[in-house]
Chains A and B, each alone.
Chain A
Amino acid sequence: MNNINNNRYANLDVNNPAPRCPVILLLDTSGSMCNDMDELNAALRQFLRETAADEAASRSVELEVITFDNSAEVAMPFTAIADVDPEPDPLVSGGITAMGAALQLATEHLRERRKLYKTNGISSYKPWVILMTDGGPNDDWESAAQEMRERGERGDLQYIGVEIGNDVDHETMVRILPENQQPVKLKDKCFKQFFRWVTASISSVSSSAVSDQDNICFGDPTDWADL
């Protein structure tokens, strides 16, 4: 994916008055994902295009993409969705699953981003964190997962864990995610349906007043979720 700007503090437009909705995609790019990468990349492009085209979401959504395989990397730092290249270089799979390192990065970046909003007088919605994997962590994940799990349990975070295929370490995913937001299995390669649902959901959030975000009724996820 093309990096828009490697300085993750620089991409904040203080002259945009809209409350921000920070979204982090944590994407498994380990070797076992090789059979899913085409669909994932296509769905990601669709997500970038459709979210940027949405009037409300395009003003509020700031996206960061973190990939994890042998290590965790910021494929794209927080960037206003309207400024993201809708045709990024495709993600490539290979290596093991450094999910713990990715969770650590996401926790730190989310904390910094929210602080940045506050110091500039910009209000924000709850962050959305989307963790997609077809396996389980090969590294230390427990301390890395703790802060976001707790935030999710307090209702301060929308945390979506998506399990791809049949080889996911479900027990570990259950422990990573908040008790009230347990992981969901993706229906067979329904990446596009999933990301379309995400676009619609964050569009609803961006259209609401900040104090009203808990009253939103999200769309039915059964198009993509094997519940």
Chain B
Amino acid sequence: MNFLTVLKMILGDSVPLPVPLPVKPDSAAKKPAANPKSTPKTTSKSTPRQAAPAGNWRNGIGKKCTPPDSITVYSPKNSPLKLDSAHIKASGGEGIIYTPPINNADILVKIYRNDASRNREKMHELKKRIYAMSALTEVKKQPCFAWPRMPVFDAQRHMIGFAMNNFNGTSFLSLMGGSRDFQRRFPQWDRLTLAQIALDFIRKLNFLAKHGVLVNDFNPQNFLVDDTGKVSFIDCDSFQISDAGGCHITKTFFPSHIAPELLKDKSALTQPRGIHQLEFGAAIIVFQVLMCGLHPYNYYDPSRQSACGTPDENLLHGRCPLGIGAGCRFPSGNWYNLWSWLTGDIKGAFIATFRDGHGNPAARTTLEAWEKHLINLCTVIKYNPERRTLMPMQPKSSDYIGNRTFPDFKKTSGF
């Protein structure tokens, strides 16, 4: 029995994900906020960092991690699969991703680097996580998630990685280099496309949350967009999974995209995260997508003619430029113009999350509200083509009227 046959027996075929996502409030769906009384199962999956002299370029000495020319891995049913260096699709600090030589398999195999895979405790936890993830059949079927399908083992039956759904596309970073860079990369796209991408992102995030899965690591490189504007999620083994046995947590985070209460108290990372923490990270990504990469805590003090700190520092201290009057406190550039042409409800949702919600998690905009506001934004842009531009020459004036003669206008709370 070959590797692919085993995979299909275990998992069945992929079912394409319709848009919008078929999220139903069924009884099987788990609450996204984990039960704090359950014992968290920690997988110490983390961003690629290791103890080393702080920041010194020499800290890689002796840590050579050249992938082997070939490696044979085994399925749970002991079917072998040989992976060659020619099959490497991507390589990072934590592991190597291979495109296996199986026709039409549409899977990838991630193999952890030696230092991780030799950590038996970590691998034991990870194995439980992978099995828990592969039991989430509704999520696993969606090709937009690079979802683990099954663990893979070495010849000694030690888990060294896992097979997962294939992924394609360019990372969200490519949307976040400013207007000029965006138009150079995507000449056919405009702000409507960005709003649609943000909407697709929120819907998929919400789909996961409805199934008890919370994204922990909002590094923009963990989200991909294909050439049709469809979003997919990678690095899914870092997600927080809730199942009947409790909550599988990870401590993974991206420092500039995490709720401030977690940044202030890192010990909280050992506990399950809640939906309000997800809402905060999600709102940062939505802001950056709609604002061509600007970080919402990129704060500029005109009296000192200086940035007040890095976005990470400002996030920690709640220095947010939004909602404090015309011009706000954005850095130099066309940021205020870009901001002003967003709809009122979108601006209000950002302010609620980043100002009011900085110290009050319950004040953060919910995923359902984001979906509604983004649908409105798409509609308003469609009927008002002047809002499509990513290089507005002027801010939207207070007497701007625009075209309000579209079917759902009365339902939109902001214009």
Contact = CB atoms under 8 A, between A and B. Distances in A.
Nearest to A212: B255
Contacts of A13: 178, 180
Contacts of B291: 17
B181 A123 contact: no
B54 A155 contact: yes
A137 B299 CA distance: 43
A20 to B, nearest CB: 11
B57 A59 contact: no
Given A13-B178, A17-B176, A211-B255, A123 B61 contact: no
A13 B170 CA distance: 23
B256 A210 contact: yes
A216 B51 CA distance: 9
B47 interface: yes
Nearest to A220: B64
A64 B380 CA distance: 44
B239 interface: no
A121 B221 contact: no
Contact of A214 (B54, B298, B300): B54
Contacts of A210: 256, 310-312
Q: Is the interface of B mostly helix, strand, loop or mixed?
A: loop
A53 to B, nearest CB: 12
Contacts of A143: none
Interface of B: 47-50, 52-65, 93, 170-171, 173-174, 176-181, 219, 221, 254-257, 291-295, 298-300, 305-307, 309-313, 330-335
Interface of A: 13-19, 55-56, 58-59, 82, 117-123, 126, 155, 158, 160, 180-181, 201, 204, 207, 209-222, 227
28 contacts: A13-B180, A15-B179, A16-B293, A17-B335, A18-B177, A18-B293, A19-B311, A59-B173, A59-B176, A82-B181, A120-B333, A121-B300, A158-B56, A207-B221, A210-B310, A211-B256, A211-B310, A214-B54, A215-B55, A216-B48, A216-B49, A218-B57, A218-B60, A220-B60, A220-B65, A221-B58, A222-B61, A227-B61
